Chain A
Amino acid sequence: MSLTEDGNAQIAADAAIIHGVNPHIDDSLVPPQKEGVRISISTYLGPFVVFLLFIGFWEYMHRDGMRRFLDKNPSLLPSPVTVIDQAFLDSVVRKQLLEGLWWTTYAAFIGLAISVVIGMTLAVFMAQAVWAERSIYPYLVALQATPVLAIVPIIYSVFGGGMASRIYVVVMISIFPIVTNTLFGLTSVDASQHDLFTLRKATRRTRLYKLQFPSAMPAIFTGYRISAGLAVIGAIVGEQFFRQGQKPGIGIVMEQFRQKLRYPQMYGGLLVASALGIVVFFIFSWIGKLVVGHWHETTRRNS
C-alpha cells in the first residue's frame, strides 16, 4: 500500500521525467543519471606515447647523451635492448632476479602485514579518546622522522643482520600512513550519524563496527595503498644494511651485479624493483575499489 495514491503511477511518471516527457514533476524519485564509463583509445594512447618517449630517451642517452652531456662511458647506461637481452632473456640472470624479487616481496609483505595489525590496533585505541591520541602521536611522528641509517646499529643489535631486521625496517617505514589514515577515517564520521547511533543507545563496540569502520574504509585503503609502496622501498632499503642469511632480495642482487660491473643485469634488477612497486600499488587500489567502490563517491573526475 503506497502512501501516495498510486505508487506505481508515480514511478511511471518519474520514468517519464527521465525520458524528458514531463519536466514539471519533482526529482524525489528520479535517480541521478549514472555517468557512463568511457574507455576509449585515449585511455591507453597517453600512457603508450609516454612509454615510447621514455624508451626513446633512454636509448638516446645510451647512444649519445651519456658522452655529450655527462661525459661518461655509455656502458654505464646500457641500451634497453641490451638490458632485456642480458637480464631477462638470460635464464641464469633471470633466475637470480626472480629469487631477489621473491625475498624482497616476502620482507615487504610480512612487514606490511605487521604494520596493518599494529597500526590499526593503535588507530582504534587512539580513536577512543583525545588523551589516547595525544599520548601516542608524538612517538609515531618520532618514528616517522628517524632516518633508518641512524639506527642501523640498534636494529642490528636487536634483530640481527638478516631478514628480521629488514622486516623491522619495512614496519618502521610503512606503519605511519596506516595509523594516520585509519585514525582520520574513524574520527571523521558525520556528527549526525553519530547522533543516530546515540539515540538508539548503541554501545562503543556497535558504533565501531557498524559506523566507524565502514565509514573509514576508503581512508583505510588509501593508507594501505601508500604503505604498500613504502613497504617495497623499506624492504630494499633494509637490504642495503642487512644482508646476512641466504635470502638475497632484489637490492642485494643488484648490488652484486654492480660490484661485478654487470650493468645490464643491474638495470634489469632496477626494472624488476620498480615493477614490484607498481604492481603492489595497483593491487591495493584494485582491492580498495572492490571493497568500497560500489558505495564510495570518489571526488576525482576523469575527463
Chain B
Amino acid sequence: MAERTQSETVAPTMVTPMNDSVPAPALSFKGVSMVYPDGTHALSETSFDVRPGEFVTVVGPSGCGKSTLLKIASGLHKPTTGSVEVDRSKVGYVFQDATLLQWRTVQRNVELLAELDGVGKAERAKRAADAIQLVGLAGFEGKYPKQLSGGMKMRASLARTLVLDPSVFLFDEPFGAVDEITRERLNDEVISLFERQRFAGLFITHSISEAVFLSTRVLVMSARPGALVAEYDIPFEYPRRPELRFEPEFARLCGELSASLRGAHA
C-alpha cells in the first residue's frame, strides 16, 4: 500500500490546530442533524472529529441513527443541518453486509472500486492481489461469493475497500452477521490493518467488547433521535493482542460503557 500523507486528508477550509503535534481532523462532524423525508428524526446536533491515527467507535441502541452518521460522512445522504468536512476521495466504506457482486470472482470483486475509479487493468490487479493477501484470502481469488463462508465474504469486502488505500475508513456494523468467534478473528484483522496504516477509523457497532477492543475512543449514542451522550478514551496501547479481551481493565471499561449505554436506552 502506498504511504499516506496527512496533508491529503485535511479539508482545505480546516483551521490548523495550535498544537502541531495534534493532526487536523480527517473527518469532522459539525452540528449535523438528520430528519428523513418520512419525518424520522434520526440524528440531532452531532459534532465530533476523527483525527488521523484515531479509531473512533460509535455504540448505541439499534435504530439510534448510528448508520446515518456514516451515510452522511460518505455523502450518500445529505444532512438536514450542519456539515461534514472530509476528503471524500479518500473515504473507504465497509458495508453492513459484504455486498459482493455474485457474478464476479473474489479477485474481480476486490478490483471493482478501483475499476470504477478508472484505474488501469494491470495496476488494479496488482493492488487487488496485495489486498487479498493482506486479509488472508490468498488462494481464493478465483472463487465466487456463493462458494465463500460469511467470514470470508467480509474479508473480501474489506479487501475491496483496501484497494482504494483510504485514509478514512467507515465501518457500518460490518461483523454484525457473523458468529462471535469469527467476529473476534475479523476484529484482530481490522486492528492489524489499523496498526499498519493508521487511517482515521469510524466504526459503528452494538457490541461493547468490539468497541473497546478496537478503538482509541468510544462514543455512546442515545436512542432516537441519536445524540452523543458519553465519550470514553480507551487507554490501551497498540499493537493490541487478542488476550487483551481477558484483562480486568478491559472488563472494567466494558462494564462502564455498558452502564452508560443502558442509561442511553432509558
Q: Chain A residues in contact with chain B, CB under 8 A?
A: 1-4, 7, 10-11, 24-32, 34, 190, 192-193, 195-202, 206, 210-211, 214-215, 217, 292, 294-297
Q: Measured between alpha carbons, how far is A192 from B70 in the docked complex, in Å?
A: 13
Residues of A within 8 A of B150 (CB): 27-28
For the A-B complex with A28-B149, A32-B148, A295-B145 known, give 17 more contacts whose Cβ atoms are closer than 8 Å.
A7-B138, A26-B151, A26-B182, A26-B185, A27-B150, A27-B179, A29-B151, A30-B152, A31-B147, A190-B99, A192-B97, A195-B76, A197-B116, A199-B75, A199-B91, A210-B116, A295-B102
Q: Contacts A2-B133, A192-B96, A214-B103 given; indicate if A27 touches B188 (C-beta within 8 A).
A: no
User: Which residues of B are interface residues toward A (Cβ below 8 A)?
Assistant: 74-76, 91, 93, 95-97, 99, 101-104, 112-113, 115-117, 133-140, 143-152, 154-155, 178-179, 181-182, 184-186, 188-189, 192-193, 196
Whole-angstrom distance from the CB of B8 to the nearest CB of chain A?
18
User: How many angstroms from the CA of A149 to the CA of B193 in the assembled complex?
Assistant: 69
Q: Give min CB distance, B162 to chain A, whole Å.
A: 10
Q: Which of B76, B113, B146, B179 contacts A26 (CB 8 A)?
A: B179
> Would B102 and A3 count as touching, CB distance under 8 A?
no
Other-chain contact of B136, A7, A198, A201, A202 (Cβ < 8 Å) = A7
Are B136 and A31 in contact (CB-based, < 8 A)? no
- On chain A, the residues within 8 Å of B154 by CB distance are 28
Tell me whether chain A's interface is mostly helix, strand or loop, or mixed: loop
Nearest neighbor of A197 in chain B, beta-carbon distance: B116
- Contacting A7 at CB < 8 Å: which of B91, B133, B145, B184? B133
The interface centre, meaning the residue of B97, B115, B136, B179 with most chain A CB atoms within 10 A of its CB, is B136
Report 8 cross-chain contacts, Cβ distance below 8 Å, ordered by A residue: A3-B196, A11-B139, A27-B149, A28-B150, A31-B143, A32-B148, A215-B101, A295-B103
Min distance, Cβ B167 to any Cβ of chain A, angstroms: 15
A-B contact number at CB 8 A: 117
If A195-B76, A202-B116, A217-B103 touch, whether A4 touches B189 (CB-CB below 8 Å) is: yes
How far, in whole Å, are A29 and B143 apart by their CA atoms in the complex?
12
Cβ of B151 and Cβ of A2 under 8 Å apart? no
Bound form: Cα–Cα A211–B193 in Å: 29
Closest partner residue, chain B, to A6 (CB atom): B136
For A191, the closest partner residue in chain B by CB is: B99
Q: Please state if B99 and A31 are interface contacts (CB–CB under 8 Å).
A: no
Q: A3-B136, A10-B136, A34-B147 are in contact. Are A29 and B152 (CB under 8 A)?
A: yes
CA distance A60 to B101 in the complex (A): 55
- A residues near B186, Cβ cutoff 8 Å: 28
Would A31 and B149 count as touching, CB distance under 8 A?
yes
B13 to chain A, nearest CB (A): 22
CA distance A88 to B74 in the complex (A): 69
CA A210 – CA B104 in complex, angstroms? Answer: 10
A148 to B188, CA, bound (A): 66
Query: B117 contacts which of A3, A32, A200, A217 (Cβ < 8 Å)?
Result: A200
Residues of chain B within 8 A of A214, CB atoms compared: 101, 103
Interchain CB contact under 8 A, A296 and B102: yes
Whether B136 pairs with A292 at a CB distance below 8 angstroms is no
Chain B hits for A32, CB < 8 A: 147-149
A199 CA / B71 CA spacing, docked (Å): 10
